[in-house]
Structure 1
Amino acid sequence: MVELAKMFVPRGGRPAEVDEAWLTDPATTDDEAFGFLKSLPGIGPYAAGNIMQLLGRYSRLALDSESLRHGKAVLGMKGTDASIMKRLAAHYEPFGEFRFKSYWFEIWDYYETKRGVSHNWDREEVGSSFTASQL
């Protein structure tokens, strides 16, 4: 983590190893940004997908155990974890460059259905319930 953080900071008169402006430049394709992120130490597809959405790039999904819960409980998917992951990817494919956003809004809608509108949530009461085992 420390080595990764150092890559973003100019050191010893040298420019930063990671060009943050390049990552957010609309001329940089999502494929290029995603591939670059995965080349960084400790960054795999899941982390790269999350970083992409933080950069305002929503074409990649970051699927995990919460995604499996969502696929089963909300979308009615059945089968092995691997088969559900494939079906989730196919489910969001039509949303193209907005896959992650579509996924996130769908999950958020489910949370609000279970716990009420988010602006009324008490952090101590509701916050601890946001795990796949609690929803």
Structure 2
Amino acid sequence: MKLKYIVVMAIISMLTYGFTNKKRAENNNNQPEQMNIIKDSLLRHVVLFKFKDDTSKEDIKKVEDAFNALPSKIKQITGYEWGTNNSPEGLDKGFTHCFFLTFKSEADRAIYLPHPDHKAFGDVLGPHLDDVLVLDYWTK
């Protein structure tokens, strides 16, 4: 059920994003608006996963391998790192994996999100995902 909710929210976000950009272009004398690029700044895409309790180590490894393959398949990813939680604070709320992607622009991220390889990764992840948290920000 949570996966269906996540998929629905992702679709709504993509549709809203497209509608908003169209309206901005219309409000700008029909001149297409450039997707944001902030000079000397990078767009970070942070993804945290919480796996279902019954997910095997082997299945988690498959998810890790599938995510690790994305930078070689999607050229818009300009930076990538990942790791598992080792914080002693106990504030992780069950999230164990962090994947940290870098894009040069919002346009690059917009290519990544619906990319067929990203969607294929979602098929590998979906059966094992309990929760996900995604934050994007421009570096300062």
| Bucket of the pairwise TM-score, normalised by the shorter protein | under 0.3
**Quick one: higher RCO (CA 8 Å, sep 6+), 1 or 2?**
2
Q: Which has the higher helix share?
A: 1
Could you tell me the TM-score, scaled by structure 2's length? 0.27
- The structure richer in strand per residue is 2
Give the greater-gyration-radius structure (CA): 1
